[in-house]
Amino acid sequence: MAEMMLQRTRAAQVEPVWSAFISRWPTLDEARRASDAELAEALAPLGLNWRIQNLIRLIRSLPDVETPERLRGAQGVGHYVESAVRCFAFGERVAIVDANVVRFYSRVFGFPVTDSTRRDRAFHAFAASLLPESRWKEYNWAILDVMATSNTCGTAPRVAFL
Protein backbone atom coordinates (compact mmCIF):
# COMPACT_ATOMS: atom_id res chain seq x y z
CA MET A 1 0.00 0.00 0.00
CA ALA A 2 2.77 2.44 0.91
CA GLU A 3 4.59 1.80 -2.35
CA MET A 4 1.43 2.50 -4.32
CA MET A 5 0.83 5.67 -2.29
CA LEU A 6 4.33 6.82 -3.22
CA GLN A 7 3.64 6.64 -6.96
CA ARG A 8 4.16 10.16 -8.37
CA THR A 9 4.11 11.66 -4.88
CA ARG A 10 6.88 12.82 -2.54
CA ALA A 11 7.43 10.79 0.61
CA ALA A 12 6.84 13.87 2.79
CA GLN A 13 3.30 14.12 1.40
CA VAL A 14 2.62 10.38 1.72
CA GLU A 15 3.90 9.91 5.28
CA PRO A 16 1.00 11.61 7.13
CA VAL A 17 -1.57 9.90 4.91
CA TRP A 18 0.10 6.51 5.42
CA SER A 19 0.37 7.04 9.18
CA ALA A 20 -3.28 8.02 9.51
CA PHE A 21 -4.40 5.17 7.24
CA ILE A 22 -2.45 2.47 9.07
CA SER A 23 -3.56 3.85 12.46
CA ARG A 24 -7.20 3.67 11.40
CA TRP A 25 -6.91 0.30 9.59
CA PRO A 26 -3.85 -1.57 10.89
CA THR A 27 -4.66 -4.78 9.02
CA LEU A 28 -5.88 -5.64 5.57
CA ASP A 29 -9.00 -7.22 7.05
CA GLU A 30 -9.86 -4.00 8.88
CA ALA A 31 -9.36 -1.95 5.72
CA ARG A 32 -11.64 -4.38 3.84
CA ARG A 33 -14.42 -3.63 6.33
CA ALA A 34 -14.25 0.10 5.52
CA SER A 35 -16.55 1.50 2.87
CA ASP A 36 -15.16 2.69 -0.43
CA ALA A 37 -16.16 6.23 0.58
CA GLU A 38 -14.21 5.99 3.86
CA LEU A 39 -11.14 4.69 2.07
CA ALA A 40 -11.37 7.34 -0.65
CA GLU A 41 -11.71 10.09 1.95
CA ALA A 42 -8.62 8.85 3.82
CA LEU A 43 -6.61 8.66 0.57
CA ALA A 44 -7.90 11.95 -0.90
CA PRO A 45 -4.94 14.07 0.30
CA LEU A 46 -2.74 12.07 -2.09
CA GLY A 47 -4.70 13.21 -5.12
CA LEU A 48 -4.64 11.22 -8.37
CA ASN A 49 -8.07 9.62 -8.44
CA TRP A 50 -6.79 6.69 -10.55
CA ARG A 51 -4.40 5.78 -7.74
CA ILE A 52 -7.11 6.05 -5.08
CA GLN A 53 -9.32 3.73 -7.11
CA ASN A 54 -6.43 1.28 -7.63
CA LEU A 55 -5.74 1.24 -3.89
CA ILE A 56 -9.39 0.56 -3.10
CA ARG A 57 -9.55 -2.22 -5.72
CA LEU A 58 -6.34 -3.68 -4.29
CA ILE A 59 -7.77 -3.70 -0.77
CA ARG A 60 -10.87 -5.48 -2.05
CA SER A 61 -9.05 -8.04 -4.20
CA LEU A 62 -5.67 -8.71 -2.59
CA PRO A 63 -5.33 -12.08 -0.96
CA ASP A 64 -3.49 -12.24 2.33
CA VAL A 65 0.15 -11.87 1.38
CA GLU A 66 2.19 -14.49 3.15
CA THR A 67 4.50 -14.80 0.17
CA PRO A 68 5.44 -12.25 -2.48
CA GLU A 69 4.15 -14.50 -5.27
CA ARG A 70 0.62 -13.70 -4.08
CA LEU A 71 1.15 -10.10 -5.19
CA ARG A 72 1.71 -11.00 -8.83
CA GLY A 73 -1.24 -9.92 -10.92
CA ALA A 74 -3.01 -8.11 -8.06
CA GLN A 75 -4.93 -4.98 -9.05
CA GLY A 76 -2.57 -2.04 -9.48
CA VAL A 77 0.56 -4.01 -8.57
CA GLY A 78 3.12 -3.57 -11.30
CA HIS A 79 6.75 -4.60 -11.53
CA TYR A 80 8.03 -1.77 -9.33
CA VAL A 81 5.60 -2.35 -6.46
CA GLU A 82 6.16 -6.10 -6.60
CA SER A 83 9.95 -5.67 -6.61
CA ALA A 84 9.86 -3.14 -3.77
CA VAL A 85 7.74 -5.46 -1.62
CA ARG A 86 9.96 -8.44 -2.45
CA CYS A 87 13.05 -6.45 -1.44
CA PHE A 88 11.87 -4.33 1.49
CA ALA A 89 9.19 -6.55 3.06
CA PHE A 90 10.49 -10.04 2.25
CA GLY A 91 14.24 -9.32 2.15
CA GLU A 92 14.81 -10.73 -1.33
CA ARG A 93 17.81 -9.63 -3.37
CA VAL A 94 15.87 -7.76 -6.05
CA ALA A 95 16.71 -4.58 -7.92
CA ILE A 96 13.89 -2.10 -7.82
CA VAL A 97 13.43 0.01 -10.92
CA ASP A 98 11.31 3.10 -11.26
CA ALA A 99 11.77 6.38 -13.14
CA ASN A 100 14.04 7.72 -10.39
CA VAL A 101 16.29 4.65 -10.47
CA VAL A 102 16.52 4.90 -14.26
CA ARG A 103 17.42 8.60 -13.94
CA PHE A 104 20.08 7.75 -11.33
CA TYR A 105 21.82 5.15 -13.46
CA SER A 106 21.55 7.37 -16.51
CA ARG A 107 23.35 10.15 -14.68
CA VAL A 108 25.98 7.93 -13.08
CA PHE A 109 26.79 5.99 -16.25
CA GLY A 110 25.94 8.71 -18.77
CA PHE A 111 23.54 6.84 -21.03
CA PRO A 112 20.34 8.21 -22.56
CA VAL A 113 16.93 7.00 -21.46
CA THR A 114 13.38 7.10 -22.78
CA ASP A 115 10.00 6.86 -21.09
CA SER A 116 10.05 3.10 -21.70
CA THR A 117 13.48 2.42 -20.17
CA ARG A 118 11.98 1.55 -16.77
CA ARG A 119 10.05 -1.29 -18.42
CA ASP A 120 12.97 -2.55 -20.51
CA ARG A 121 14.07 -6.10 -19.58
CA ALA A 122 17.69 -5.35 -20.48
CA PHE A 123 17.68 -2.36 -18.14
CA HIS A 124 16.23 -4.51 -15.33
CA ALA A 125 18.99 -7.05 -15.91
CA PHE A 126 21.56 -4.24 -15.83
CA ALA A 127 20.17 -2.92 -12.53
CA ALA A 128 20.15 -6.44 -11.06
CA SER A 129 23.78 -6.93 -12.09
CA LEU A 130 24.77 -3.95 -9.96
CA LEU A 131 23.19 -5.20 -6.74
CA PRO A 132 25.72 -5.90 -4.02
CA GLU A 133 25.90 -9.39 -2.51
CA SER A 134 24.75 -8.03 0.85
CA ARG A 135 22.79 -5.02 2.07
CA TRP A 136 20.74 -4.77 -1.13
CA LYS A 137 17.88 -3.16 0.79
CA GLU A 138 20.16 -0.33 1.84
CA TYR A 139 21.54 -0.08 -1.71
CA ASN A 140 18.04 0.28 -3.17
CA TRP A 141 17.05 2.79 -0.46
CA ALA A 142 20.24 4.77 -1.09
CA ILE A 143 19.46 5.21 -4.77
CA LEU A 144 15.91 6.33 -3.98
CA ASP A 145 17.20 8.70 -1.27
CA VAL A 146 19.84 10.24 -3.53
CA MET A 147 17.23 10.92 -6.20
CA ALA A 148 14.68 12.22 -3.69
CA THR A 149 17.20 14.78 -2.45
CA SER A 150 18.83 15.68 -5.77
CA ASN A 151 17.85 18.55 -7.95
CA THR A 152 15.55 16.91 -10.50
CA CYS A 153 16.49 19.46 -13.15
CA GLY A 154 20.22 19.34 -12.55
CA THR A 155 22.74 16.59 -12.35
CA ALA A 156 22.75 14.07 -9.55
CA PRO A 157 26.05 13.69 -7.78
CA ARG A 158 28.42 11.05 -9.12
CA VAL A 159 28.34 8.29 -6.56
CA ALA A 160 31.06 5.75 -5.88
CA PHE A 161 29.89 2.51 -4.31
CA LEU A 162 32.17 0.41 -2.17
Q: What is the pLDDT of residue 151?
A: 56
Q: pLDDT higher for 22 or 73?
A: 22
pTM above 0.85, yes or no: no
Tell me the residue range of the domain where 133 lies: 88-149
Residue 95 lies in a domain: yes
Q: 36-43 and 11-24 helices cross at what angle (nearest 10)?
A: 150
Q: pLDDT higher for 128 or 151?
A: 128
Residue 97 lies in a domain: yes
Residue 24 lies in a domain: yes
Strand, helix or coil at 78? coil
Are 56 and 39 in contact by the 8 Å Cβ rule? The answer is yes
Last residue of a domain, one of 12, 40, 71: 71
Residue 131 lies in a domain: yes
- Give DSSP secondary structure letters for 109-159: HT----TTGGG-HHHHHHHHHT--SS-HHHHHHHHHHHHHHS-TTS-PPP-
Last residue of a domain, one of 40, 71, 102: 71
pLDDT digits 0-9 by tens, 44-101: 999 888 889 989 988 888 766 666 777 776 767 788 888 988 899 889 999 999 888 9
CATH number of the domain that residue 14 is part of: 1.10.340.30
> Structurally, how many domains does the chain consist of?
2
Q: Residue 106: CB partners within 8 Å, gap ≥ 6?
A: 112, 113, 117
Residues 117 and 66 in one domain: no
Last residue of a domain, one of 46, 71, 96: 71
Residues 141 and 111 in one domain: yes
